[in-house]
Amino acid sequence: MFRQGWLQDLMMKRPAVSRFAVPDLGIGVGYRVPHYRQVVEEQPEMDWFEVLSENFMVDGGSPRHWLRELAKRYPLVLHGVATSLGGEGDPGHLRRLAALVAEVRPPWVSDHLCFTGSHTANAHDLLPLPYTPEVRDHVIGRIREVSEAVGTLYAVENVSSYLSWKASEVPEWEFLTQVVEGADCGILLDVNNVFVSSVNHGFDPMEYINNIPLDRVVQIHLAGHSIKDGYRLDTHDGPVCDEVWELYAAVIQRMGSVSTLIEWDGDVPEFSRLQQEANQARTIRDAALLALV
Amino acid sequence: MLSPTDQIGVYAEQYRLRLPEAVIYELRGLEALLGDALPPLVAQYLQHYPSQTWTLDRVADQFEEFLASIHAPVEQTDMARLDIAVSHAFTAPDARTFDASTLQAETQLVLQPPVVLLELSTSVFRTRSAALSGLDLPEMEFADFRVVLFRPERKIRHLVLADAAYKLLNAFKTPTSLADGLQTLSQDAFTANALAANLGDWMRTFAKSRILGPPA
Ligand SMILES: [Fe+2]
């Protein structure tokens, strides 16, 4: 009997492509409320978990309890939704994030390449940025500020988008590249978001993948989305679709194995269904690694 | 490809779906009380109080103020206050413990972080408990109620207090020695008599329930 992950270990004898000394955590899933107790009490098989930072940026009570218990049992990474790298930044948010990072000590922390509101109003959404030099420089400054405050490797994630700004001067992949190189940070590459945006904006997703610095990718997101009238909506409420699996395989073939996470946030199924989806990712990753030899 | 208006429309639609859901999630007692009458109120609320905070936990915090501004019935404003108090208590810093048998006159005590004192004019706390337990809603009683919310571990609980017990807890809003706390209550003969008869029991309950405890 081979132990789980043997193929990955074999493949990883190749020199790591990442410029950052971060571990490949394997295949994980998001830690979501319906599974808090079950995961802690039954310790089901799962390589690692991603937790939504903001859900745990509270003083005490139930959320902190379950986070402490999870951290005793599994590797975990913090992923935020409210830093608003394109916005002005909220000192209260940053203080709480830094305190959480100090307690959890994840190998990296991430949030999205977007803004979440304007002036004092918060849209609680991941709004796409205009891809201009002014915005790029602002975001680079914000990433530096946040990285310094949290004191650990920072990664930015590409978002799904439904609109583009007339003011944009470069395609998204070029903007992402300029930002991460300027800020010297990592990328959380959401393969589903690349696909969703490619359909919504009419670009080739492989052009995106081939034109970003894959040696900065520290983590991948995979998720399901919905097909709407005239566009794709990033809903995280179902299985990963075939096109996204293909794109994932193409990324792995280009960069080798990297920490991969399944996001499933709406209509959250039984944990065993998440394990199946993680196993599917493992199978596709291993096949892609084999094709690479 | 979507037109620019439709592109903006996707975000507008998502906002209209997400925000009311987040507000209602924080108002579970009010949802039980109002049923289908709540969503239109929430839509109106969000027009006047767009979210200004990064956390969805706090999006409903001005709901009592909003209800008061539209002259909503007192059981609705009471319930909104109770819902929001529960939400704050749920993630407040954990309570500390003390051993009631070691109490001395000079022992410093303070209300613990998850504790909220509420003065209500209706029995909304009974309605809320019944609704969350899936029971039929009891008839609303209109009277003055002194209620303390507390969180001994992770679950929120409440007690309805005698007037003197409520006054006793109010004396420990900031760190205060037992002697000083009691001193402030001794002027009023009725309260003093109630304390004389019940202090031991009450302090044991407050200690066991982590309502009172040592300062941080
Ligand atoms: Fe993602």
Q: Is the dihedral of CA A253, A259, A265, A269 positive or negative?
A: positive
Two tokens, residue A255 = 């960069």
Residues B172, B201 within the same domain:
yes
Is B3 an 8 Å CB contact of chain A?
no
Q: Residue A15: its pLDDT value, please?
A: 41
CA distances A188 to A191, A225, A277, Å, are 9, 18, 19
Give helix then strand counts, H and E, for chain B: 9, 6
pLDDT, tens digit (0-9, with 9 covering 90-100), for A121-172: 999 999 999 999 999 999 999 999 999 999 999 999 999 999 999 999 999 9
What pLDDT sits at residue A2?
47
B84 in any annotated domain: no
Q: What is the pTM assigned to this prediction?
A: 0.92
Q: Which of B5, B8, B55 is the best mutation test for A, with the most CBs of A within 10 A? A: B55
Flag if A61 and B4 touch (Cβ within 8 Å). no
Token pair 């991603």 in the structure block, residue: A50
Using the mean position of ligand 1's atoms as its centre, give its distance from the Cα of residue A183 in Å: 20
Residue B79 lies in a domain: no
Identify the three-state secondary structure at position B157: strand
Residue A261 and residue B116: Cα distance in Å, rounded? 40
Residues B105 and B197 in one domain: yes
Contact (CB, 8 A) for B156 and B89: yes
B38 and B26 Cβ atoms separated by less than 8 Å = no
Q: Using an 8 Å Cβ cutoff, are A219 and A260 in contact? A: yes
pLDDT (0 to 100) of residue B99:
83
Tokens of A113: 């390449």
Give the separation between CA B115 and CA B77, rounded to whole angstroms: 20
The model's pLDDT over A172-203, given as tens digits with 9 standing for 90+, comes to 999 999 999 999 999 999 999 999 999 999 99
Nearest CA to B66 among B87, B86, B83?
B83
Within a domain: B77: no
Q: Looking at the complex, report in whole angstroms how far the Cα of residue B180 sits from the nearest Cα belonging to chain A.
A: 29
What is the model's pLDDT at position B185? 87
Residue B171 in any domain: the answer is: yes
B82 part of a folded domain:
no
Reference B60, options B34, B95, B33, B29; nearest CA is B29
Is B18 a domain residue? yes
List, for chain A, all residue ranges whose pLDDT scores fall below the cut of 70. Answer: 1-17, 292-293
- A122, B18: Cβ pair inside 8 Å? no
Please state, in angstroms and rounded to a whole number, the distance separating the CA atoms of residues B12 and A70. 36
Nearest-Cα distance to chain B for A63, in Å, is 7
Assign a CATH topology to domain A5-14+24-290.
TIM Barrel (3.20.20)
**Interface contact A59-B92, CB threshold 8 A:** yes
Asked whether residue B57 falls in the same domain as residue B128, the answer is no
User: How many structural domains is chain B composed of?
Assistant: 2
Based on the fold, state whether residues B103 and B184 are members of the same structural domain. yes
Q: Where are the alpha helices (DSSP H) in B74-213?
A: 74-91, 124-132, 163-170, 178-183, 189-208
Residues in A closer than 8 angstroms to B114, CB to CB, are 60-61
Residues B5, B9, B10, B12, CA torsion sign: positive
CB contact under 8 A, B51 and A124: yes
Q: Indicate whether B131 and B209 sit together in one domain.
A: yes
- Looking up residue B214, the CATH number of its domain turns out to be 3.90.930.50
In chain A, count H helices and then E strands.
11, 12
Residues B56 and B98 in one domain: no
Does residue B161 share a domain with residue B215?
A: yes
What is the structure's pLDDT at B167?
94
What pLDDT, on a 0 to 100 scale, did the predictor assign at position A5?
Answer: 60
Domain ranges of chain A: 5-14+24-290
Q: Is the domain of B216 the same as that of B113? A: yes
Q: In 3-state terms, what secondary structure has residue A61? A: coil
Q: B122 with B140: CB under 8 angstroms?
A: yes
CA distances to B115, B116, B117, B123, B160 from B163, rounded to whole Å, are 17, 16, 12, 16, 9
Say whether both B36 and B101 belong to one domain: no
Q: Half-sphere exposure of residue A10, counting CA atoms within 13 Å on the CB side?
A: 12
Which residues constitute the domain of residue B215?
93-216
Residues of chain B with pLDDT under 50: none
Residue type, A96: R
Q: Does the residue B103 lie in any domain?
A: yes
Kindly state whether residue B85 falls inside one of the protein's structural domains: no
10 Å CB burial of residue A268 (0-12, 13-18, 19+) is middle
**Of the residues B43, B72, B101, which one is the last residue of a structural domain?**
B72
pLDDT score for A38: 97
DSSP states of A74-137 = S-EEEE-S---TTS---HHHHHHHHHHHHHH--SEEEEESSEEEETTEEEEEEEPPP--HHHHH
Contact across the interface for B55 and A82, Cβ inside 8 Å: yes
Whether residue B68 sits in one domain with residue B174: no
Question: Are B209 and B124 found together in one domain?
Answer: yes
pLDDT at site A245: 97
B99 and B59 both lie in a single domain? no
Q: Which pLDDT does position A118 carry in this prediction? A: 86
Disruptive mutation site among A55, A59, A90, A93 for chain B (greatest number of B CBs within 10 Å): A59
